Amino acid sequence: MLRQEQNEFVTRTRPGTPVGDLFRRYWIPALLASEVPKNECPPVRVKLLSERVLAWRDTQGRYALTDEFCAHRGVSLWFGRNEENGLRCPYHGWKYDHTGQCIEVPSEPAESGFCGKIKLKSYPLIERGGILWTYMGPAELQPPEPAFEWAALPASHCHHSKRRQQCNYLQAMEGGIDSSHVSFLHSGELHTDPLHKGTKGAQYQRDRKPKFEIVESSGGLYIGARRNAEEGHYYWRITQWIMPWYTMVPPYGDNALNAHAWVPIDDENCYTWTFTYHPTRPLSEMELDTMRKGGGIHVELSPGTFRPVINMDNDYMIDRAAQKAGRTYSGVKGIAMQDASVQESMGPVADRTKENLVSTDNAIIMARHRLSRAALALQKGVAPPGLTQEGHRVRSATFVLPVDVPFEQAKHEDLTVREGVPHTSI
């Protein structure tokens, strides 16, 4: 349980808030590269951490992320003309380059130097792994570029997607941290979804009373969920939580690895990013087709949007007959929308003053504390944890160990990226 002021502290990410300042110190997945596909393409509206900006590419192919609104009289530059290495406002013709610098005001004499005084807010925008990343913090404190495994593999090994979720980032992210719900909420899909069924790990999930061991890492948490396996052994599922909002889902068999990012749009909505990747092989057509249709932990989207077909407005297409028959535990189709349905049901910002937490919530408690500590420390000038590339080069894993062997001692190498080496999974 959190006091109301604690809940406000950790859920608010607008400019000038402690957690908002913390998040701005990390590289942020902002768009799929396919959203800004070519030079001089139309600008794309983006809202991150309650800031409204535009993503675009100039004539030379340089990416830009600039304030949405013209410095003249506040017109949205989404209506602008992307031409000749600049974005031109349709109202009075003011033109800006990819850095946000005003380079032309048609009504003013060139010799006046007026343009040099006008510059839009702008942020760097880089492409890595088919994703456009931005950094919204102080320029002089920009960290190394993102080095997650999914951002470095060939495109054939990966499938990435994003969807809009109608709730605060924290309750969405906490669902990714919580491994205990899998045995309930997702129990049907573990045995029917093509990307999960048929694995030994899915069978071990029938143990509905996991024990948790959580270990702090330099940039987050190792979250070990322990279930009973064969006599004298435990089945371990190790989730990685990486500052500030990443989770890596423990895998099943030789199926691809999965990770999430839970990025605030504003304080009541977030983008749920899903990264699916295999370290040593291309994804198959079956895997890709399944994910595009909403299988695995992806969703089917309404055409031309990032809104799921299954959503709050249609009651998530709940199938009470399937729920009654036990084909799905909640009646909602698909792992991702099962998660979204329960998370969005908590309201735009969950009221954590009413919680009654139990032992399986320890990882959630530790993540909240880690975020709060980092935000408070930043206010005192202490750099945030997890800014190094080394902290990105980790994996989730599943394995079976003798009951007397702690997971963090026996399997450390399986929790780090080893190029060309398959992930560890059951």
For each of the chain's 426 residues, which pLDDT tens digit applies? 899 999 999 999 999 999 999 999 999 999 999 999 999 999 999 999 999 999 999 999 999 999 999 999 999 999 999 999 999 999 999 999 999 999 999 999 988 999 999 999 999 999 999 999 999 999 999 999 999 999 999 999 999 999 999 999 999 999 999 988 988 999 888 778 888 776 777 677 777 888 999 999 999 999 999 999 999 999 999 999 999 999 999 888 889 999 999 999 999 999 999 999 999 999 999 999 999 999 999 999 999 999 999 999 999 999 999 999 989 999 999 999 999 999 999 999 999 999 999 999 999 999 999 999 999 999 999 999 999 999 999 999 999 999 999 887 766 789 999 999 999 888
Do both 391 and 262 map to the same domain? yes
Q: Which of 121, 141, 161 is the last residue of a domain?
A: 141
CATH of the domain at 296: 3.90.380.10
Q: Which two tokens stand for residue 375?
A: 């935000």
Total domain count, the chain:
2
Which range marks the domain in which residue 290 is found?
149-415
Q: Compute the residue count for the chain.
A: 426
Residue with tokens 């009470």: 320
Question: Cis bond leading into 264, ω under 30°?
Answer: no
For residue 242, the surrounding DSSP H or E stretch is strand 233-242
Closest by alpha carbon to 161, among 332, 295, 316, 315? Answer: 295
Do both 156 and 122 map to the same domain? no
Do both 278 and 375 map to the same domain? yes
Do both 385 and 402 map to the same domain? yes
Give yes or no for a contact between 367 and 223, defined as CB atoms under 8 angstroms apart.
no
CATH of the domain at 115: 2.102.10.10
pTM: 0.95
In 3-state terms, the chain is what percent helix, strand and coil (to 5)? 30, 25, 45
Handedness of CA 187, 191, 196, 198 (dihedral sign): positive
**Residue 57: CA count within 13 A, CB half-sphere:** 17
**Residues near 148 by beta carbon (within 8 Å), at least 6 away in sequence:** 129, 246, 259, 275, 392, 393
Q: Which of 122, 141, 160 is the last residue of a domain?
A: 141
